[in-house]
Amino acid sequence: MRATALIRAAYNGRVTTLPQLRSDGPFHLRRMRTDGPSATVGIIGAMSAPLGGDRLTLDITAEDRAELEVTTAAATLALRGPTAEAATYDVRLTAGEHASLRWRPQPLISAAGSNLHQTYTVELAATSRLILREEQLLGRADEEPGHLVTRIVVRFAGRPLLDQQTAYGAPEPGWDGPAVLDGHRATGQLLVVDPRLDALREPVLLGNGATDGCAVLAPLAGGPALLATAVAPTTSAVRELLDEAHALALAG
């Protein structure tokens, strides 16, 4: 299956509108009720996806001064498909001058036998703000995960800010070892980019240690940005760690 869904948010001088909202394939886009000038779009899965061989794309743009939040109604479940070829899931995020873009989906579950390559490609203007949050659960109850490769590429004001790739599950070497997940099955990241941030700070370790999970909140060298990375036994524990990191980032 090949599918591309489009979301475009624009500011009309008073509130954020959604002049383009195009559903496709497994992506059913729904405008959510909100208070204030921002707009929220919920993504509802219309069919099982991604499966092996699928080519899925979400193209999301917040134009100048628009305020947009995008979320999903349920977890995304990567499953074994009719072919062993990897599925691709590309999320493209663009924010214009003085725009605010928040990407906050439910977790991605890598089921046994699945093979998924997920990529975030982010373009930010010098005065735009971004919250990008992702969570992954590696395998359902009592099963090994599939093969999951995820990459985040961010450009801020035309310059590289972040280019990071992680890979989990066989045949990746050492993915479950002490240097990566240390036996945990849930992981997640939170990227906060905001020109108002005080990003000149030391890294902060969050959590109770290796058994219950932990997170690190650290500044990025290329711009006013903080990145939190968390590992834990469950997605609920990862979510709590990322919530704590988010609060700490905004408090700074």
CA dist., res. 149 & res. 169, Å (int)? 9
Q: Across 139-203, where does the E strand assignment appear?
A: 147-156, 159-168, 186-193
**Whose CA is closest to 115, among 44, 43, 168, 182?**
168
CA dist., res. 181 & res. 166, Å (int)? 11
Rounded (5°) CA angle 115-116-121:
165
Q: Quickly count: other Cβ atoms within 10 Å of residue 47's Cβ.
A: 11
> Residue 221: what pLDDT?
87
> Residue 209: what pLDDT?
67
pTM for the whole structure: 0.94
> Residue 187: what pLDDT?
96
**Whose CA is closest to 215, among 252, 247, 167?**
247
> Residue 210: what pLDDT?
67
Q: Quick one: tokens of 27?
A: 């992506």
Tens digit of pLDDT at every position of the chain (252 positions): 899 999 999 999 999 999 999 999 999 999 998 888 999 999 998 777 899 999 999 999 999 999 999 999 999 999 998 888 999 999 999 999 999 999 999 999 999 999 999 999 999 999 999 999 999 999 998 899 999 999 999 999 999 999 999 999 999 988 888 878 888 999 999 999 999 887 667 899 998 766 789 999 999 987 899 999 999 999 999 999 999 999 998 886
CA dist., res. 26 & res. 72, Å (int)? 12
> Residue 200: what pLDDT?
61
In degrees rounded to 5, what are phi and psi of residue 243? -60, -45
The residues, any chain, with a CB within 8 Å of residue 142's CB and separated by 6 or more, are none
CB 204 within 8 A of CB 241: no
